[in-house]
């Protein structure tokens, strides 16, 4: 079953077609990578899929609902209940600590739970930094807070825009491991990346160029599910 269908989706800014007649289907539980040069429309596409923005033309069907026709209030609800977003720019709330940022996301979804929020931060290696403000965190640390925040409500659909862009190799593996386990637990994952190694983790890759799908590749996944101990099965229950 498809969790997502884009039908003839375009996003037009004046003369520029940031997305130019995109048709795409994503199956429930699939892990998809979106790649392509800077300016090719990746973030624009993620914003539309993530109900942050509407297409100029076309339909976006998420779980059977055409979200391109919904009010912004309904979109907020869908975003809150179904989707986990990891932004290219982190959008953390700057006067809240790492822990509070994660708990804020719980609050909007259901109920804040400090213990669970701490577990999510521990899973991304940030136990020691939980009480710091974003301005006191490095770029990679902020990115990991953003990931913990996206995962805390067990989203059916995880959208991640360059989730490892600011991370060193160790933290990149940590994040890929978390994605691997979420995938295993049934989440659908769409990840935008410039990093071929991150792209290789996906089951399918779509390459955008000038707002169009230039090519598409099904992949044999390389890496078996590993257990680095970072996210143990009991910690995973905090996510999936
Ligand atoms: N609000 C906007 N108004 C006008 N043009 C925009 C707007 N947002 C994006 N664009 C343009 O649309 C195109 C696609 O932008 P987008 O951010 O989707 O690229 P991207 O593939 O995510 O690039 P990057 O890899 O650098 O993040 C770019 O040419 C960009 O300048
Ligand atoms: Mg982008």
At residue 1, the pLDDT reads 84
Q: What is the per-residue pLDDT for 234?
A: 52
Mean pLDDT of the residues in the chain: 89
Mutate to test the pocket of ligand 1, among 14, 33, 41, 207 (most ligand atoms within 8 A of CB): 41
* CA-proximal residue: ligand 1, atom 27 (nearest): 38
Task: Provide the pLDDT confidence category of residue 217 given band limits of 50, 70 and 90.
Answer: very high
pLDDT of 230 reads 46
pLDDT of 228 strictly over 50 = no
The 3-state DSSP class for residue 228 equals coil
Most confident of the ranges 17-31, 150-164, 220-234: 17-31
Share of the chain above pLDDT 90, in %: 64
37 CA closest ligand 1 atom index:
25
CA 82 – ligand 2 centroid, Å: 22
**Are 228 and 236 within 8 A, CB to CB?**
no
At 153-174, the pLDDT tens digits run 888 999 999 999 888 998 899 8
Report CA(39)–ligand 2 centroid distance (Å).
7
When pLDDT is cut at 50, 70 and 90, the band that residue 224 belongs to is: low
Residue 58 CA to ligand 2 centre (angstroms): 21
Describe the strand order of the beta sheet including 16-27 as a list of residue ranges: 16-27, 2-13, 57-62, 65-66
The reported pLDDT for the residue numbered 154 is: 86
**So what's the pLDDT on residue 52?**
87
The pLDDT tens digits of the residues spanning 122-149 come to 999 999 999 999 999 998 999 999 999 9
Q: Name the least confident of 191-195, 208-212, 220-224.
A: 220-224
Q: Which residue matches tokens 């997305």?
A: 19
Q: Report CA-CA distances (Å) from 239 to 3, 117, 145, 185, 187.
A: 20, 10, 14, 9, 10
**How does 178-217 read in b/e, with b if 16+ C-beta sit within 10 Å?**
bbbbbbeeebbbbbbbebeebbbbbbebbbbeebbbeeee
Looking at the CA of 39, which ligand is closest? 1
Q: Is the pLDDT of residue 117 over 90?
A: yes
Residue ranges around ligand 1 (CB below 6 Å): 13, 16, 18, 36, 38-44, 88
Q: At 23, which helix (H) or strand (E)? A: strand 16-27
Cα-to-centroid distance, 138 and ligand 2 (Å): 20
Nearest CA to ligand 1 atom 2: 13
Question: What pLDDT sits at residue 142?
Answer: 94
pLDDT exceeds 50 at position 120: yes
């Amino acid at each position: 079953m498809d969790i997502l269908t884009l039908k003839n989706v375009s996003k037009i800014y004046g003369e520029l077609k940031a997305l130019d007649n995109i048709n795409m289907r994503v199956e429930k539980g699939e892990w998809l990578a979106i790649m392509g040069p800077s300016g090719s429309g990746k973030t624009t596409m993620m914003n539309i899929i993530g109900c942050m923005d509407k297409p100029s033309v076309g339909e976006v069907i998420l779980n059977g609902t055409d979200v391109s026709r919904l009010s912004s209030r309904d979109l907020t609800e869908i975003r809150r209940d179904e989707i986990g977003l990891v932004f290219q720019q982190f959008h953390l709330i700057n006067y809240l600590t790492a822990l509070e940022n994660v708990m804020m996301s719980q609050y909007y979804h259901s109920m804040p739970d400090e213990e669970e929020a701490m577990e999510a931060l521990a899973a991304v290696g940030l136990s020691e930094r939980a009480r710091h403000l974003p301005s006191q965190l490095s770029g990679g640390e902020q990115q990991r807070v953003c990931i913990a925040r996206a995962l805390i409500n067990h989203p059916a659909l995880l959208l991640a825009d360059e989730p490892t862009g600011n991370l060193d190799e160790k933290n990149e593996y940590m994040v890929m491991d978390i994605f691997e386990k979420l995938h295993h637990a049934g989440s659908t994952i769409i990840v935008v990346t410039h990093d071929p190694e991150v792209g290789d983790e996906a089951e399918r890759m779509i390459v955008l160029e000038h707002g169009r799908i230039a090519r598409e590749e099904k992949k044999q996944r390389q890496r078996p599910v590993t257990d680095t101990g970072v996210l143990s099965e009991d910690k995973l229950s905090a996510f999936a």
